[in-house]
Amino acid sequence: MEVIIVQDAAAGGETVAQGIAALLRRTPAALLGVATGSTPLPVYQALASLVRAGGVDMSAARIAQLDEYVGLPQGHPESYRSVVLREVVEPLGLDPASFMGPDGSAEDVRAACEAYDAALAAAGGVDLQLLGIGTDGHIGFNEPCSSLASRTRIKTLTEQTRADNARFFGGDIEQVPRHVITQGIGTILEARHLVLLATGENKADAVARAVEGPVASVVPASALQLHPHATVVVDEAAASKL
């Protein structure tokens, strides 16, 4: 595992964006796994600047979603599909048809999960998976004690994660769905390159446990230690307990 410490969130976004751009120069039709939450936004902004400056061509890039809420009405602004369309696909001028994600409004959620794993494999697998980290050490929505071999499946959110994410739902935890679909840890580990970005002091504990603690399902992000090509980009605040 490579750990890169940068000064702040903007530098983290720039560093990760440069890595993605380098991949796209080698592999223009790369399948990029994208994450939601606040942390990756500087990455998408830096990528948009690179695209505008002609520094990278993303016209052939493909995008895959990491996770999704279950039960939000289609088109809900906080469904991760809506978020990825708004924050990634539209600003980067990507083809919406090249964007894949799990169907959180499917009647048969289990079938939707299996279909998504199959679709990822059929697409040739994820070339680079961008990850954030939850304050409880989760990746995607793999909450503590998720099997390290898990596949895409339905999960129940912890109260901590619902509280963390309430800010996207007007601060009302009751509006945060209880169930989600997430790529499993085993699914995530199949990506050819994992890039975890963490910024801010509130991530310092989770980062230290993920990077320096034992590999354990109670800290899902520690699974990155098992991956042959994992990069952790942290700002000084998030690195403060390393």
Collapsing DSSP states into helix, strand and coil, what is residue 100? Answer: strand
- Determine, following the binding rule CB under 6 A, whether residue 38 of this chain makes contact with ligand GLP: yes
Our answer to whether residue 136 is catalytic in this structure is: yes
Query: Smaller CB distance to ligand GLP: residue 99 or 141?
Result: 141
Binding mask 155-174 for ligand GLP (x = CB under 6 A): ------x---x---------
136: which 2 tokens?
Answer: 């409880």
Burial class (CB in 10 A: 0-12, 13-18, 19+), 172: exposed
User: In this complex, which beta carbon is closest to ligand GLP, that of residue 59 or of residue 105?
Assistant: 105
Task: Tell me whether residue 67 is one of the annotated catalytic residues.
Answer: yes
> What does the radius of gyration of the chain's CA atoms come to, in whole angstroms?
16
Residue closer to ligand GLP by CB (options 37, 125) is 37
Q: Which residue has the tokens 């695209």?
A: 51
**Stretch near ligand GLP under the rule CB under 6 A, chosen from 45-53, 119-127, 130-138, 209-217:** 130-138
Among 12, 101, 102, 140, binds ligand GLP (CB under 6 A): 140
Number of H helices, E strands in the chain: 7, 10
In a 3-state reduction of DSSP, which class is residue 234? Answer: strand
Q: How far, in Å, CA of 170 to CA of 72, rounded?
A: 15
Residue 210 Cβ, how far from ligand GLP at the closest point, in Å? 12
Cβ contacts of 185 within 8 Å, gap of 6 or more: 139, 140, 142, 146, 147, 148, 149, 150, 220, 223
Q: Are strands 62-65 and 179-182 parallel, antiparallel or unpaired?
A: unpaired
| 57 is a catalytic site residue | no
Q: Which of 67, 87, 127, 164 is catalytic?
A: 67
**CB-neighbour burial class of residue 13 (10 A; exposed 0-12, middle 13-18, buried 19+):** buried
Asked if 143 is an active-site residue, the reply is: yes
Q: Say how many residues touch ligand GLP, by CB under 6 A.
A: 14
Smaller CB separation from ligand GLP, 56 or 239: 239
Q: Does 232 engage in binding with ligand GLP (CB under 6 A)? A: no
Q: How far is the CB of 120 from ligand GLP (least distance, A)?
A: 16
By CB under 6 A, tell whether 187 contacts ligand GLP. no
Q: Does 141 bind ligand GLP (CB under 6 A)?
A: yes
Binding site for ligand GLP (CB under 6 A): 35-39, 66-67, 132-134, 140-141, 161, 165
Which residues participate in catalysis according to the annotation?
67, 136, 138, 143
